[in-house]
Structure 1
Amino acid sequence: MKRLLGLLIRVHRYTGVLFCLVFLAWFASGLVMVFHRMPEYGAAERLARLAPLEAERVGLTAADAVARAGLDGLPQRMFLLTLGTRPVYRLLGRQGWVSVFADDGRVLEPLDAQAALGVARHAFPEHAATAAVADLVTEPDQWTIGHPFALSGPLHRIRLGDAGGTELYVETATGDIALKTTRASRLWGYAGPVLHWFYFRPLRVQGPIWYDLIVYGSLAGLVVCLLGLVIGVWRVSLRRRHAGGTSFSPYAGWMRWHHYAGLVFGVATCTFLLSGMLSMVPWEWSPGNGPEPAQVLAIRGARVDPARFGLSPADAVREFAAEFAPKAVEFRTFLGRPFYIAYAPVPVAALGTAVAAAAPRHLLVRADGIDRQVGELFSPEELLEAAQAVMPDAAPVDATWLTAFDAYYYGRGAERRLPVLRVRFDDADGTWLYLDAHDGNLVQREVQRTRVERWVYHGLHSLDVPWLY
């Protein structure tokens, strides 16, 4: 037994030297992530820096825009917004995004460097004099890992030349600013998410290798941690005291502190390692709480048909303009019924404040041309109808209108909106659906295994339990 104990101690000692450095990096970067995430060009800033839509300049109908876009069928999504000062339809087809100017019907050609520079100067006029083209990004760099290059085309990287070292990534296919980074956001990005997730570009672009490293590295660390706990418990003596009867540990000095601290923090480390590993959904143990594509399409449909929109986009802009200056309007359908949705932009000066962090005000305009109904929320009855369309073979057990977060639907700032309708069904998986009253979207789906994941992963890893979160 002593020989076995000695072997375990040596294995724990030498593997612990390696893994403790990894654990230190994970814990330190996790603390950074409480305050900083990856660089982004947030929705509030994206909307704030667009030019307002002018109804008088929208001369092309939505049907004509679809015809000129040359898509293989109807678009999957469709918007009316501005590029520079000009109104433009943006349509998503099977091959990617196509933009058609709403004033003259011209199809947008891929942007060259100077056109992308013009987009950046218009969005950030305060830096128009110093902005300059950096390069063309044709494959993922550190900050564009996961960007859909197949849909957006290459990205023009523009340096604004400001004191903050701001860089913009402009899509060649759409002229949209896909990402904004600053010197500070890049620094915190490295210190937080990149270090925590091992998101270093050369490794991360090798998807399967990166995935296996995280999963099996976490598993190996968990074994090392459990080994330390086994040794620590084994070496505790409750009946035979050491150091003159004052200690339960046979060790002295720093080793005694290591023994006691390891027993306490080793348990916490094990929970972080286990929950972090489970967040990668190894062996497909959980389906995830995102709705399935077919469920989303059961509500909003697979295609946008302009023929259903009796109210013209120009008239929709006028409806929104009675409340706020619209900058982007989306064509949407809800159970086959067409409507437009637009969000009120915040002033550029308010970016970075609590005003910009809050959920933006929005309006829904019914677009069938029969009744120009304007509102802000779908009713519980409409959302329940949508939930039943998603789950036609199951019966709802109850439907609850949530104006406060519950234990499974929650978030910070504007990342989760209220109210939502939660509908629970009597199917074998115990499905719960959460539908956003602002736009009718199915935003979350919970089944038995995802509710377990919520506590095993989020509860243990992020400590987001109701009495702390």
Structure 2
Amino acid sequence: MVSLRLRLGKAGRRWLLLFHRWAGIVAGLFFALWIGSGLVMLYVPFPTLTETERLARLTPIAWDQVAVAPDDALRAGGAVGLPAAFNLEMRGGEAVYRIAGRDGNRATVSARTGARLGPLTPEGALRLATEGLPDGRVEPVERDQWTVTARYDPLRPFLKVALGDPAGTELYVSQVTGEIALDTTQFERAWNWVGAVTHWIYLTPLRARPELWRTILLWLSGFAALGALSGLVVGIWRLRLRRRYAGGSVTPYRGIARWHHLFGLAGGIGLSTFIVSGWISMNPYRWFSSNAAPAEIRAAYAGAPPPLGLDAATLRGFAEPGTRGLRFVAIGGSWWIVTDGLAGTQGRRAADGLPLTVDAITSAAARAVPGGALRAVEPLAGFDTYWYPHGADPRPLPVLRLRFDDPAAIWLHVDPRDGAILQRLDLSGRINRWLFDGAHRLDLPGLTGSRRLHDAAQWILNLLAAGIAVTGLVAGWRRLRRTLSA
């Protein structure tokens, strides 16, 4: 029996060594690419149009252009039921209502004539986007590297306008609605090829097929995670701190293999954590719920408000000087009008002009989560463990945290300025916060509050991981060359 256990143990160690060796040869290049691209992503996020950028490109509402009431605009836009989004803003020199239906359909209605506007022409896109720059060029785009994700689907196709400015800015204007959906610069595009595109394997033909892309990354990162974990086990197993090897060495290896072992001992836990948490980010077996509030929660939170009942003249009274947009938001069965400007955001009730209050938000939210009652309302004036900024996602303050007693233990984070549900965080999401955000992004207490400490920790762990990857690539190439030439 003892002899059998010895033979099985010896065979197991041999197969573990063989698996790690060949897993490293197969996945080693991906390790190196993930490490390098991850460091780039610390400083250059994937291109997106932030709300600040969007508002900066809008001109203040020209109220002499607004003659159509909001209810008439909804009818002209063909909205069925309560819209998912309903805004008034400028499109070039024309005031327009933008309507997004809950079925994904979009409509743009002239606030001057009440006519539903048709697809934007290339000439119109050029006038809208170039802002007087003489060298603009327009190119039709259905889907490309920067608009590959499904969230852009309701806005396709696009007209990509190259402004010809020193930054190499390109604007993506929706032909459906005429709104600017994305801006990119030459700097962002260049660095993202060696950053997010490489890190996420974000190639357009693959990423355009979300389930295929997800399946490939799940299997690839899962295999890589096993390779990293097997290396960590081998590294600890071959380490000798007491009965050392010949010459007093703690490692039996020589040359590049010695460096690979030593780097593995110093950075193996960090590398394994990065790779395993990267696999977790692909949500294997759908373990984790989305942090976006589902349609049923949003519908219950909105309620069923009556028509707005406002004419264009009354609507103007809700605007502040320099207002660049009005949003019509349903909360708790009432319409609220939110003014957006460079100075900030403010919400008031359409019926009487009273400001949006925490009581109004909590009253609406109390009916939002099926099977759960609202148990606690926590105003957050500062960031904490579960609400904190990350990279290009600064996250607003203050915010309301609403806790429910449903089986999923849901929390809602709500912006008290406009009542927007910013995040739905259930128990699985809070677990994922540690397994992915904490382990992969190093969003940990003590680091999230200091960009300098956070980046230093990332660089130290990633440089150690790079040492493992580079020495492993060299050792693997030498092994592969000897095998092929034998």
- What TM-score comes out, normalization by structure 1 length? 0.87
Closer, same or farther: CA 327–314 of 1 in aligned 2, 3 Å: farther
**1:406 and 2:406 aligned:** no
Paired residues for 1:82-101 under 5 Å: 82-93=90-101, 94=103, 96-101=105-110
Paired residues for 1:116-195 under 5 Å: 116-121=125-130, 124-125=131-132, 127=133, 129-133=134-138, 135-138=139-142, 140-148=143-151, 150-195=153-198
Closer, same or farther: CA 109–218 of 1 in aligned 2, 3 Å: same
**Is this contact kept in 1: 2:69–2:310, CA < 8 A?**
no
Deviation of 1:394 after TM superposition, in Å, equals: 3.0
- Give the alignment partner of residue 231 of structure 1, picking from 231, 234, 253: 234
Paired residues for 1:246-395 under 5 Å: 246-301=248-303, 307=307, 309-321=308-320, 324-345=321-342, 361-368=344-351, 371-373=352-354, 375=355, 378-379=357-358, 381-391=359-369, 393-395=371-373
Deviation of 1:414 after TM superposition, in Å, equals: 6.4
| Letter of the structure 1 residue corresponding to residue 172 of structure 2 | Y
Secondary structure of the corresponding residue to residue 340 of structure 1:
strand
Secondary structure of the corresponding residue to residue 194 of structure 2:
helix
User: Size of the alignment, in residue pairs?
Assistant: 438
Counterpart in the other structure of 2:425 = 446
Deviation of 1:192 after TM superposition, in Å, equals: 1.2
Distance 1:426 1:43 in 2: 33
Q: Unaligned 5+ residue runs, structure 1? A: 346-359
Q: Unaligned 5+ residue runs, structure 2? A: 1-6, 449-486
Distance 1:295 1:70 in 2: 24
Counterpart in the other structure of 1:349 = none
Secondary structure of the corresponding residue to residue 320 of structure 1:
coil
Closer, same or farther: CA 7–242 of 1 in aligned 2, 3 Å: same
Closer, same or farther: CA 426–166 of 1 in aligned 2, 3 Å: closer
Counterpart in the other structure of 2:479 = none
| Letter of the structure 2 residue corresponding to residue 343 of structure 1 | D
Counterpart in the other structure of 1:356 = none
Closer, same or farther: CA 206–143 of 1 in aligned 2, 3 Å: same
Q: Which moved more, 1:387-396 or 1:80-89?
A: 387-396
Distance 2:230 2:393 in 1: 42
| Letter of the structure 2 residue corresponding to residue 363 of structure 1 | Q
Counterpart in the other structure of 1:25 = 33
Q: Alpha-carbon deviations, 1:354-376, whole Å to 9, x = none?
A: xxxxxx611222211xx322x4x
Deviation of 1:463 after TM superposition, in Å, equals: 0.6
**1:16 and 2:24 aligned:** yes
Secondary structure of the corresponding residue to residue 99 of structure 2:
strand
**Is this contact kept in 2: 1:131–1:160, CA < 8 A?**
yes
Counterpart in the other structure of 2:483 = none
Distance 1:390 1:462 in 2: 31
Secondary structure of the corresponding residue to residue 399 of structure 1:
strand
**1:114 and 2:123 aligned:** yes
Deviation of 1:445 after TM superposition, in Å, equals: 2.4
Q: Which moved more, 1:312-321 or 1:227-236?
A: 312-321
Deviation of 1:257 after TM superposition, in Å, equals: 2.7
Q: Alpha-carbon deviations, 1:207-264, whole Å to 9, x = none?
A: 22211111111111111112212222221224421243x3222223443332122123
| Letter of the structure 1 residue corresponding to residue 186 of structure 2 | R
Distance 1:283 1:238 in 2: 41
Distance 1:431 1:19 in 2: 38
Q: Which moved more, 1:396-405 or 1:77-86?
A: 396-405
Distance 2:371 2:324 in 1: 41
Distance 2:376 2:215 in 1: 41
Aligned-residue CA RMSD in angstroms? 2.3
Deviation of 1:288 after TM superposition, in Å, equals: 2.8
Closer, same or farther: CA 432–315 of 1 in aligned 2, 3 Å: same
**1:460 and 2:439 aligned:** yes
Identity %: 36
**Is this contact kept in 2: 1:340–1:366, CA < 8 A?**
yes
Distance 1:68 1:311 in 2: 16
Closer, same or farther: CA 145–239 of 1 in aligned 2, 3 Å: same
Deviation of 1:398 after TM superposition, in Å, equals: 2.8
**Is this contact kept in 2: 1:341–1:363, CA < 8 A?**
yes
Counterpart in the other structure of 2:482 = none
Distance 1:57 1:33 in 2: 43
Secondary structure of the corresponding residue to residue 348 of structure 2:
strand
Deviation of 1:3 after TM superposition, in Å, equals: 6.0
**Is this contact kept in 1: 2:377–2:401, CA < 8 A?**
yes
| Letter of the structure 1 residue corresponding to residue 231 of structure 2 | G
| Letter of the structure 2 residue corresponding to residue 178 of structure 1 | A
Deviation of 1:157 after TM superposition, in Å, equals: 1.6
**Is this contact kept in 1: 2:413–2:424, CA < 8 A?**
yes
| Letter of the structure 1 residue corresponding to residue 141 of structure 2 | V
Distance 2:202 2:231 in 1: 28
Distance 2:123 2:163 in 1: 14
Secondary structure of the corresponding residue to residue 461 of structure 1:
coil
Displaced runs of 4 or more, over 6 A? none
Q: Which moved more, 1:95-104 or 1:210-219?
A: 95-104
Distance 2:393 2:416 in 1: 14
| Letter of the structure 2 residue corresponding to residue 112 of structure 1 | T
Secondary structure of the corresponding residue to residue 365 of structure 1:
strand
- What TM-score comes out, normalization by structure 2 length? 0.84
Deviation of 1:392 after TM superposition, in Å, equals: 5.9
Deviation of 1:9 after TM superposition, in Å, equals: 3.0
Distance 1:339 1:75 in 2: 14
**Is this contact kept in 2: 1:55–1:318, CA < 8 A?**
no
